[in-house]
Copies of this chain bind each other. A is one copy, B any other.
Amino acid sequence: MRAAILGTTGYTGMILLRLLARHREVQEIFPGSSSHAGMALADTDYGISPSILTKTRWHGARLLTTEEIVEESPDVVFAALPHLASASVCAPFFGKVPVIDLSADFRLKDPVLFEKTYKEKPPRPDLLEKAVYGLAEWFTGDIKNANLIANPGCYPTATLLPLLPLSRAGLLKGTLITNALSGISGAGRNVKPAYLFCERSENTCAYGPGKQHRHQPEIKQGLDSVPGSTLDILFTPHLVPLKQGMAVTTVAELARAPASGEVDEIYREAYADRPCVRLTGSRIPETIHVRGSNRCDIGWQIEGDRIILFSVIDNLVKGASGQALQNMNIRFGFEETEGLSLHGEI
């Protein structure tokens, strides 16, 4: 495999680089960057080990322009670019090589909803239908055949994974009340005052609640993928002073009282054979246990006629670059977890 990264100097690009470096099926990596093209990779990412660089084509090499990458004809392209910029940079690769897009450009199927959400028309409305939504555990079959994978957002990944099995089983009804806590890297390498150390340290707050956050329509679309679902969601994200980590708490009304052990059984059926989901039962998961890992840990507790769902991911791994690699593995028939760590931190 020869893999290209468009946008290597952002956080998701840097994580992708580390994951691809340890992937046993990937022999060459082409690191692209429009802003830093020509610079030595070792001078833009001091964490990368030079010893690893020697194992790849990009030894001694510079960050590449998209044109240089086109000439290399990679086998797969990861686009780790900002929303609304990604589709056009990827243009030369569409139809020629599978593209895994970490931006939002192909996530929403409905062009009207896209425009309402992102305040611009979708850059490539012609491709919206072909794009497969890369929630790896739920659209595995489609991903296997996809040539354009819209990698999910971090909030939708952590929110949908615990909800979809219960929704499919007809266990939920009404409006889900979801509160999500995100580490600051969720904002990307975004040089704004609000993301300075001194503004975020010892600080936390909600932001963009209700339908305001652009991930809300993406979550709703995911919920709607379950036939017959009438679930709505009121989604409130919060910023917490973590670098990497996301915890989502959803309170859902039960459509009926589940039988004893039924919820456990529903989750086991959905995820028992999926290596990137860990079911913790009534134990509430913590973000540190999935930091750096491609796992989503899911716990739950029934409270009267409601169920509370708890899920945690690393927003840059299972919530971005790790799931992108998982999708590549699925698409190319590799072991699903190749190159990925499933261990969290101590």
What is the interface residue range for chain A against chain B?
A: 35 or more
A45 CA to B175 CA in the complex, in Å? 35
CB interface residues, A 304-323, toward B, < 8 Å: 304, 306, 308, 310, 312, 316
A284 and B51 contact, CB distance less than 8 A: no
Q: A294's closest neighbor in chain B, by CB?
A: B49
User: Residue A344 at the B interface, CB < 8 A?
Assistant: yes
User: Residue A245 at the B interface, CB < 8 A?
Assistant: yes
Give the contacting residue for A209; candidates B177, B191, B308; CB below 8 A: B308
A206 and B249 contact, CB distance less than 8 A: yes
Q: Contact string, A281-295, partner B, CB cutoff 8 A, digits 1/0?
A: 001111111111101
A189 and B185 contact, CB distance less than 8 A: no
CB interface residues, A 204-230, toward B, < 8 Å: 204-207, 209-211
Known contacts A179-B236, A209-B303; 18 additional CB pairs below 8 A are A14-B346, A46-B344, A47-B291, A49-B275, A49-B344, A179-B179, A181-B238, A195-B196, A197-B201, A197-B241, A201-B241, A202-B243, A202-B244, A203-B242, A204-B286, A205-B247, A236-B249, A236-B251
Give the contacting residue for A292; candidates B278, B285, B288, B292; CB below 8 A: B292
CB distance from A236 to the nearest CB of B (A): 6
Give the contacting residue for A203; candidates B201, B205, B287; CB below 8 A: B287
User: Residue A200 at the B interface, CB < 8 A?
Assistant: yes
B343 and A49 contact, CB distance less than 8 A: yes
A295 CA to B46 CA in the complex, in Å? 12
CB distance from A281 to the nearest CB of B (A): 12
A215 CA to B241 CA in the complex, in Å? 25
CB distance from A288 to the nearest CB of B (A): 4
User: Residue A128 at the B interface, CB < 8 A?
Assistant: no
What are 11 of the A-B contact pairs (CB < 8 Å)?
Answer: A47-B343, A49-B293, A51-B342, A181-B181, A197-B200, A202-B288, A204-B242, A206-B310, A209-B301, A210-B308, A240-B240
Q: Point out the residues of chain B lying under 8 angstroms from A291, CB to CB.
A: 47, 202
CB distance from A22 to the nearest CB of B (A): 8
Q: Point out the residues of chain B lying under 8 angstroms from A289, CB to CB.
A: 46-47
User: Residue A266 at the B interface, CB < 8 A?
Assistant: no
A128 CA to B178 CA in the complex, in Å? 37
Q: Point out the residues of chain B lying under 8 angstroms from A51, CB to CB.
A: 275, 337, 342
